[in-house]
Structures are given as C-alpha cells and as structure tokens.
C-alpha cells in the first residue's frame, strides 16, 4: 500500500470475526441451554420415575356405588325378612347361599385357582353354574387375583393386602385402584390352564348375561313362581340380602382369616386358622395351613366333614368318577415345611414353578395313587 492511499479498515474481516465470535458465543449458549434442557429432562424423567413408584389409590366410583347399593339393600332386605317375606323365601335364601357356595370353594378356589384336583366336564359345568349364582366375577378373573394373592401375599402386589387394614382386605380393594405391582403380577401369572378350559372361557365371555340370568333372575324368580312371593320382596331378599351375605362370607376369608386365629403351620405369615370362618365358608377357614399347602384339596390337615363340607362334596363326586387326582399333604411333607417354616416362600398352588423338588416329586407320585 502506498503512503498516499487511504487506509480502509478491514470491515469485512471485523464483521466476519464478530460473526464468528457470535456464532461461538451463541453455540456456547445453545450448548448451555441444551445442557439445561437435558438436565431438566433428566430431572423430569426422575420425577416421572418417582411418580410411577408412588402409589396414590383412587376410588372407583361405579364399584363403590355397587357396594353401597348391595349393602344398603341388605338392610332393607333384612327388614323385609323380619316383617313381610314368607318363611319359604327366607329358607330359599340360605339354601341358595350354601349350595352356590360350593361353586366358590370346590370350584373357583380349590379346582381352578389351585389345581388341587381335577374334574370332568359335567362337574366343571355344575361348578360354573353354582359359582355364577354367587356373582363374584367370572372364574378366570377370580382365579387370577387369587393366584396373585398367594404368590405375592403380604406385599404391594397382593390384591387385598391385609397390611393395609381390615377394611381394605375385606371390601375396600374392590373399589380402589390397584397398586401398580398388582397390575404387573396379573400379567405375569401363568393362566394357560384356564385359557385351555372351554367352560371357563365360555363363562368369561358371557359373564354379563349369565350374571343377569343366574345371579339375579333365577334366585328372584323361584319364590315368585313356586309360592307366589311378590317380585318386590323377592328382589330385595333374594338378590341384595342373599348377595350381601354371600359376598361377606367370602370377604371374611381375606380379612378375618388373615388376622385372628392360630398359626400352627407357619407363625411368620398372616393367615390363621379360624374355625368360625371355616364353618361359615364351607371349610375355607383353615387359612394358615392353606397358605402353606395351597395344593391340598382339603385346605386343612384334618379335613373333617362337619367343619369342611367342601371336602365331603369333592369326595362324593370322586366316588362317581367326576373328581379325580385329589392332591393332599402327607405327614412327611408337613414335617419338611415345618423344618423350613418362615423362609418367606409363597406359591399359588399345584403347577407353580417354585414348588420344592421334594414336594413336587411326592405330589406326582400321588397322581398314581388316588385316595
């Protein structure tokens, strides 16, 4: 450059440099913002993860409404029993309660939930018929929750976890949203045996019309048709009054039989032996024994018929060949369990993968030596 030339400032170079500096600065800011966003996302994800763990139970209002209707209707039904209902109508209530009860005890509980024995199709059809009269969901759903209850007893995955109190275990769990662990375990339990049972799946598919026909229609219609009871009285007595008693007998197994009684087989679990529950529930009150040996078709060590009528029911059908492969517990098996009592293991019944090898070997031998 000559001395006479005007010196031109390097505008483009300065702008370029400034632009580059701005780019670098903006890039740094962008990186900082992105880092902040990432950190915020991580915090948000952590919060979401925490939220998933925290269980906030909510009321299922339709289910709560149903329970209120059933129990308030029970009181009105009781009033009608004491003041207006015919004697035959009241007798029919208790005949229905205890005949249909075998659908719970011998059917959905001992047969389908625990595989404690096997039944030919005529008996399975009879048990489905009786169980549907009780109105306690379909066989598949009831058995699924019961297997989860045994597999995960006294944990967050227990559908009616007694640790949450008497009321929750008795009835509250039916109108509260389940813990996420319950939902997860429901998906994990093996139900292939019930899925292969055409009678069970038929009842599951048609449960709503069957409920209307057998839980409501049949018990209410019989008094009206055979001894001219009024439809109004028959409905409140043979639906609400009967249904409420039936439900609460079953509820007592989940609550009372987990709280008050003796624990001769395993002192470290909540289920107990409760003779009153056993009498009311046709033999389902020997609950300490039952949770230790859920595959025993008697659900009790002694299995005496007066206090365990369901065992007599199953034995009667075994005599005509409709029930077979009845599984039971030998004195040696009881001794083995007593030796390891309190180890925290839980199983839902015969077929559970966690049955000990010794117990499974002995149970398989029983299949070849029917009672």
3-state helix, strand, coil in the chain (%, to 5): 65, 0, 30
**Confidence band (pLDDT; 50, 70, 90) for 353?**
low
CA 361 to each of CA 283, 344, 365, 371: distance values in angstroms, whole numbers, following the listed order: 27, 21, 6, 17
Residue 10 placed within a domain:
no
Residue 1 placed within a domain:
no
Compute and round to an integer the Cα radius of gyration of the chain. Answer: 31
**Is it the case that residue 301 has pLDDT exceeding 70?**
yes
Counting Cβ atoms within 10 Å, is residue 273 exposed (0-12), middle (13-18) or buried (19+)?
buried
The pLDDT value given to residue 6: 40
Residue 90 placed within a domain:
yes
* Cβ–Cβ under 8 Å, residues 215 and 244: no
* pTM score of the predicted model: 0.78
Residue 294 placed within a domain:
yes
CA separation for the pair 317, 117 (Å, rounded): 11
Residue 284 three-state SS: coil
User: 361 lies in which domain range?
Assistant: 61-366
Residue 21 placed within a domain:
no
169-220 residue pLDDT tens:
999 999 999 999 999 999 999 999 999 999 999 999 999 999 999 999 999 9
Residue 19 placed within a domain:
no
Residue 328 placed within a domain:
yes
Q: How many domains are there within the chain?
A: 1
**Is it the case that residue 354 has pLDDT exceeding 80?**
no
**Confidence band (pLDDT; 50, 70, 90) for 30?**
very low
Residue 315 placed within a domain:
yes
Residue, of 312 and 342, whose pLDDT is higher:
312
**Is it the case that residue 32 has pLDDT exceeding 70?**
no
Output the DSSP codes for 130-192: HHHHHT---HHHHHHHHHHHHHTTTSTT-TT-GGG-HHHHHTGGGSBPPPHHHHHHHHHS--H
Output the DSSP codes for 1-43: --TTSPPPP-HHHHHHHHHHHHHHHHHHHHHHHHHHHHHHHHH
């Amino acid at each position: 450059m000559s001395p006479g030339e005007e010196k031109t400032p390097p505008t483009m170079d300065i702008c370029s440099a400034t632009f580059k500096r701005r780019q670098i600065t903006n890039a740094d800011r962008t990186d900082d913002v992105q880092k902040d966003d990432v950190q915020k996302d991580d915090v948000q994800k952590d919060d979401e993860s925490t939220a998933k763990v925290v269980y906030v139970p909510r009321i299922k209002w339709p289910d709560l409404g149903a329970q209120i209707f059933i129990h308030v209707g029970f009181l009105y039904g009781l009033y009608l029993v004491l003041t207006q209902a015919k004697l035959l109508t009241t007798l029919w209530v208790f005949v229905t309660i205890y005949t249909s009860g075998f659908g719970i005890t011998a059917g959905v509980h001992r047969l389908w939930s625990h595989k404690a024995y096997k039944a030919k199709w005529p008996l399975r059809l009879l048990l489905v018929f009786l169980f549907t009269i009780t109105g306690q969901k379909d066989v598949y759903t009831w058995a699924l929750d019961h297997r989860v209850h045994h597999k995960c007893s006294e944990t967050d995955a227990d559908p009616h976890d007694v640790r949450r109190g008497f009321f929750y275990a008795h009835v509250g769990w039916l109108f509260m949203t389940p813990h996420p662990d319950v939902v997860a375990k429901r998906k994990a339990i093996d139900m292939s045996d019930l899925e292969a049972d055409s009678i069970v799946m038929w009842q599951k598919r048609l449960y709503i019309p069957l409920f209307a026909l057998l839980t409501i229609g049949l018990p209410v219609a019989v008094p009206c048709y055979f001894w001219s009871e009024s439809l109004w009285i028959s409905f409140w007595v043979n639906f609400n009054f009967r249904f409420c008693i039936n439900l609460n007998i079953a509820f007592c197994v989940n609550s009372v039989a987990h709280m008050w009684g003796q624990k001769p087989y395993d002192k470290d679990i909540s289920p107990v032996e409760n003779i009153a529950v056993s009498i009311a529930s046709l033999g389902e009150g020997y609950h300490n024994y039952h949770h230790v040996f859920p595959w025993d078709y008697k659900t009790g060590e002694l299995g005496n018929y007066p206090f365990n009528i369901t065992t007599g029911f199953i034995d009667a059908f075994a005599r005509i060949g409709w029930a077979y492969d009845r599984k039971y517990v030998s004195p040696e098996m009881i001794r083995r369990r007593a030796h390891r009592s309190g180890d925290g293991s839980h199983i839902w019944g015969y077929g559970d993968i966690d049955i000990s090898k010794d117990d499974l070997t002995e149970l398989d031998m029983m299949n070849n030596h029917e009672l």
